[in-house]
A and B are shown apart, each in its own frame.
Chain A
Amino acid sequence: MRLFLVLISLFFLAAASGAEDKPWNPALGTAKVTGSVKFEGKAPRMRRIDMAGADAKCAEMHGGERQKPETVIINENGTLRNVFVWVKTGAEGWKFPMPEGDALLDQKGCMYTPHVQGMRQGQSLSVKTSDPTAHNVHGFGKKNRSFNRSQPAGASNVAIRMRRDEASPPMKVKCDIHPWMNSFVAVVPHPYFAVTGPDGSFELPNLPPGTYTIEAWHEKYDVMEQTVTIGDGETQTLEFTYPTKS
Chain B
Amino acid sequence: MSDEHSDLGFLRKYVFSTDHKTIGIQYGITALVFLFFGFSLMMMMRWQLAYPGSAIPIIGGLLPDTLVDRGAMLPDFYNQLGAMHGTIMVFMGIVPLAVGAFGNYVVPLQIGAPDMAFPRLNMMSYQAFVIGGIVMLASFFLPGGAASSGWTSYAPLAVTATTGQTFWLIGMIFLIASSLLGALNFIVTILHIRAEGLTFFRLPFFVWSQLVTAFLLLLAFPPLQAAAIFQLMDRLAGTSFFLPSGLVVGGEQIVAAGGGSPLLWQHLFWFLAHPEVYVLILPGMGIIAEVIANNTRKPLWGYRPMVYSLLVLGFLSFGVWAHHMYMTGMGTTMSTFFQITTMIISIPSVIILTCLVISLWGASIRFSVAMLFALAFLPMFGIGGLTGLPLGLAAPDAHLHDTYYVIGHFHYVVAPGTIFAMFAGIYYWYPKATGRTLNVTLGKVHFWLSFIFMNGVFMPMMFEGMAGVSRRLFDPTIYDHGAAVHGLTVMTSWSAWCLAAAQIPFIINFFWSMRKTERAEENPWQATTLEWATPTPPPHGNFTETPVVYRGPYEYSVPGADRDFSPQYVKQEA
Contacts and interface: CB of A to CB of B under 8 A. Distances in A.
B117 to A, nearest CB: 49
Nearest to A158: B65
Interface stretch (B68-76, B119-127, B395-403): B68-76
B253 to A, nearest CB: 13
A182 interface: yes
A182 B69 contact: no
A156 B74 contact: no
A179 B74 contact: no
Interface in B471-523: none
B53 A152 contact: yes
Nearest to A134: B75
A156 B71 CA distance: 12
B74 A150 contact: yes
B9 interface: no
A150 B78 CA distance: 11
A138 B250 contact: yes
Contacts of A151: 69
Contacts of B76: 136, 148, 150
A174 B69 CA distance: 19
B74 A152 contact: yes
Interface string B278-301: 000000000000000000000000
A172 B53 CA distance: 28
Nearest to A176: B250
Interface string A171-186: 0101010010010000
A140 B66 CA distance: 17
B251 interface: yes
Contact of A140 (B69, B143, B250): B250
A161 interface: no
B252 interface: yes
A145 B66 CA distance: 15
B268 to A, nearest CB: 28
A228 interface: no
Contact of A150 (B69, B70, B250, B251): B69
Interface in B63-102: 66, 69-70, 72, 74-76
Contact of A155 (B66, B69, B251, B252): B69
Interface in A218-244: none
A72 to B, nearest CB: 15
A151 B252 CA distance: 23
B17 to A, nearest CB: 45
Interface string A139-180: 010000100111110011000000000000000101010010
Nearest to B75: A150
Interface string B423-456: 0000000000000000000000000000000000
Interface size class of B (residues with CB under 8 A): 10 to 19
Contact of B69 (A138, A152, A172, A179): A152
Which of A136, A150, A151, A156 gathers the greatest number of chain B CB atoms within 10 Å? A150
Contacts of A172: 250-252
Contacts of B75: 134, 136, 150
A155 B76 CA distance: 15
Contact of B252 (A140, A149, A150, A176): A140
A140 B251 CA distance: 11
A33 to B, nearest CB: 32
B251 A174 contact: yes
Contacts of A155: 69-70
A174 B250 CA distance: 7
Contacts of A145: 143
A152 B76 CA distance: 12
Contact of A149 (B66, B70, B72, B250): B66
B251 A182 contact: yes
Nearest to A145: B143
Contact of B72 (A148, A152, A176): A152
A156 B250 CA distance: 24
Interface string A201-230: 000000000000000000000000000000
A136 B251 CA distance: 15
Given A148-B76, A150-B75, A150-B76, A156 B252 contact: no
A124 to B, nearest CB: 14
A176 B251 CA distance: 10
Contacts of B143: 145
Contact of B251 (A149, A156, A179): A179
A156 B66 contact: no
A182 to B, nearest CB: 7
Contacts of A174: 250-251
A155 B72 CA distance: 10
A149 B144 CA distance: 10
Contacts of B144: 148
A136 B143 CA distance: 17
A45 B205 CA distance: 72
A145 B162 CA distance: 12
Contacts of B252: 140, 172
Contacts of A176: 250
A172 B75 CA distance: 22
21 contacts: A134-B75, A140-B252, A145-B143, A148-B76, A148-B144, A149-B66, A149-B74, A150-B69, A150-B74, A150-B75, A150-B76, A151-B69, A152-B69, A152-B72, A155-B70, A156-B69, A156-B70, A172-B250, A172-B251, A176-B250, A179-B251
Interface of A: 134, 136, 138, 140, 145, 148-152, 155-156, 172, 174, 176, 179, 182
Given A148-B144, A150-B76, A172-B250, 5 more contacts: A140-B252, A148-B76, A152-B53, A172-B251, A176-B250
**Lowest 6 CB-CB distances: which A-B pairs, in order?**
A150-B74, A155-B69, A150-B75, A174-B250, A152-B69, A152-B53
